[in-house]
Amino acid sequence: MKSITIYTDPSHGWAKVTLKQLIRLNIADKISTYSYIRRNRSGAGFAYLEEDCDLSTYLKALDAKGINYMFKTLHTDKSSKIRSYDSYTLGINYINPFYKSVKPVDVNINLL
């Protein structure tokens, strides 16, 4: 079962997922700029999918692959630091040396 961490602050929430998962699920270009991105030095990293639209895109993709999931929620009463991350733009140009070998797949895959 896939565990999805949801981070919330008093006014919004985001699901943390790897960029690799979005590419493998073939939805990297379907995520809006309302979500956020945080990369490490190699270019890999995480997307923080906004809860109102982009999270449902991700969950539908998991459902389509038959991948079960559960949620773990972490809340802060302050403004989340996620708001300081860059807006998600991977959908606009996600060609990156790190991802050249990552291909979308049509079979059930282990995304952990």
* 38-47, 59-68, 84-93: range with lowest mean pLDDT: 84-93
Question: Is 101 a member of any domain?
Answer: no
pLDDT over 90 at 70, yes or no: yes
Classify residue 67: in a domain, yes or no. Answer: yes
pTM beyond 0.85, yes or no:
no
- In a domain? residue 107: no
Name the band, by pLDDT with cuts 50, 70 and 90, for residue 91: low
Could you tell me the two tokens for 21? 């998962």
Task: Give the domain extent around 77.
Answer: 2-94
* Domains: count for the chain: 1
Residue 105, domain member (yes or no): no
**Residue 110 within any structural domain of the chain:** no
Domain membership flag for residue 34: yes
- Looking at residue 90, its pLDDT comes to 67
Q: Has residue 65 been placed in a domain?
A: yes
The alpha carbon of 67 is separated from its chain's Cα centroid by a whole number of angstroms, namely: 15
How high is the pLDDT of residue 108? 42
What percent of the chain is modeled with pLDDT above 90?
A: 72
Higher per-residue confidence, 102 vs 56 = 56
Encoded tokens for 102: 């990552």
Is residue 100 situated within a structural domain? no
Per-residue pLDDT at 47: 96
19 contacts: CB under 8 Å, gap ≥ 6: 28, 37, 39, 44, 45, 46, 47, 90, 94, 99
